[in-house]
Amino acid sequence: METLKNYLESMFASLPNTVEVLKAKEELYTMMEDKYNELIAEGKPENEAVGIVISEFGNLDEVAESIGIGQMLQEYTYVDRNQIPSEEAEEYVQQYSQHRFWIGLGVMLLIFSPMSIIITSMARIGAFEVIGVAFFFLMIAAGVGIIVFTSINMSKWKYLDEQLCCIDYATANQLKLEKEAHRADKALLLTIGIALCILSVVPVILFSSLFKNFVFTEGIGPALIFVFVGIGVMMIIFAGGRETAINKLLALNDAHTVSGSYRKGQDMPDSYINPGIAGFMKSYWTIITCVYLIWSFLTFDWHITWIIWPVAAIAKTVIWNIWGAREE
């Protein structure tokens, strides 16, 4: 079966990625599959069945002609795209995921940093407090350093944004499988991360009722908030890394790439017909957040302003329904 699919993919490799082509491919595959299944049911060995199906398949020029792309095939100006080999794609995913880990670590250090001041100030000794402040700056420096370093390290992949790139069918397939396989990991990390953030206040509440000692109530308790939030945020940042990288690679293929074997996934960014709206929608949530904060701070009507969020979510759907570019 894989052989037939690969054969068909290689036959279609020179055709553009349009709806007609995808439909033709699907139809032809169904016919090949039917024939193959029947040959197998007749007791033919697998290899022979594949051989027969392929030998009776015919010539694709005919199909191209009838679905009206024969002309296109000749005129097709072959945009030179940089095809990324599958090892390189894999390396990118690996490295991006590591990059997210380091970013998470950097952010975690930044969140941890106030901790040293809180704990050392408990001692109420000048020298200790100086050490606390020193640690505070040290952690910030380390955090920022890590983030800067890993970002510079990632800049070698800039060409993915700057050049026209594409990936082949096998790579796309492999990436999709990998994404599926990591779905559970991602969900788990995300859940634990969010749970840690929510639970961060628990130690403070617990310690203040259990201990009378102010080292616990004023020092370790509050410090633990930063530990919880820091680890939680780190996990949240790390969780989506692999998927983001895979989505980016999958999004390289579009209707203009040859070797069309990719269809828009559900979690690809929405596209809009009107470029103005597309630009607006890109920063939609940022704009909404700004409006929310400005409105809230100006009026201090926090009890009302939250209404912006559900309204914005509904508005987004409405905008999508009116101007969204759908794939038929």
Partner 1 sequence: MGEISSDVIRGYNDTIILFLLLDSPSYGYEISKKIKSISEEKYLIKETTLYSAFTRMEKNGYIESYTQNSESGKKRTYYRITDQGRSYYREKCEEWNLTKEVIEHFITEGGENGNS
| Interacting residue ranges for partner 1, rule: CB under 8 A | 24, 27-28, 30-32, 34-35, 38, 56-60, 62-63, 65-67
Q: Which is nearer to partner 1, 66 or 283 (CB)?
A: 66
Q: Which residue type occupies 19?
A: V
Cα dist from 313 to 275, 281, 306, 324, whole Å: 21, 12, 12, 15
Determine the distance from the C-alpha atom of residue 39 to the mean position of all C-alpha atoms in its chain, rounded to a whole number: 42
Q: What is the Cα–Cα distance from 252 to 174, expressed in whole angstroms?
A: 15
Closest to 176 in 3D by CA, of 100, 105, 266? 266
Q: What are phi and psi of 86, to 5 degrees?
A: -65, -30
> Any residues with CB less than 8 A from the CB of 30 and at least 6 apart, and which?
none
**By C-beta, is 10 or 66 nearer to partner 1?**
66
Least separation in angstroms between residue 66's CB and partner 1 is 4
8 or 231, CB closer to partner 1? Answer: 8
CA distance 168 to 258: 9
Least distance from partner 1 to the Cβ atom of residue 258, Å: 19
Phi, psi of 203 (to 5 degrees): -55, -40
CA distances for 221 relative to 175, 202, 231, 318, angstroms: 44, 9, 16, 46
Q: Tell me the C-alpha distance between 323 and 328, whole Å.
A: 15
- What are the angstrom distances between the C-alpha of 288 and each of 295, 298, 313, 317, 319? 10, 15, 10, 14, 14
Q: What ranges in 200-283 are assigned the alpha helix state H?
A: 202-210, 214, 221-239, 241-250, 275-282
* Smaller CB separation from partner 1, 24 or 110: 24
For the bound state, the minimum distance from the C-beta of residue 176 to partner 1, rounded and expressed in Å, comes to: 20
The nearest distance, CB 254 to partner 1, in angstroms, is 24
Residue 70 or 324 having the CB closest to partner 1: 70
Residue 25 or 242 having the CB closest to partner 1: 25
Nearest approach, Cβ of residue 56 and partner 1 (Å)? 6
To partner 1, the closest distance from the beta carbon of 75 in angstroms equals 20
In whole angstroms, how close is the CB of 27 to partner 1 at the nearest point?
6
Q: How far is the CB of 260 from partner 1 (least distance, A)?
A: 17
Q: What DSSP designation does 272 have?
A: B
Quick one: 35 or 81, whose CB is closer to partner 1?
35
| Smallest separation (angstroms) from partner 1 to the CB of 32 | 6
Complex with partner 1: residue 62 or 180, whichever CB lies closer? 62
Complex with partner 1: residue 67 or 117, whichever CB lies closer: 67
Q: How far apart are the first and last CA of the chain?
A: 27
Q: Are 167 and 89 in contact (CB under 8 A)?
A: yes
H helix or E strand, kind and range, residue 83: strand 82-83
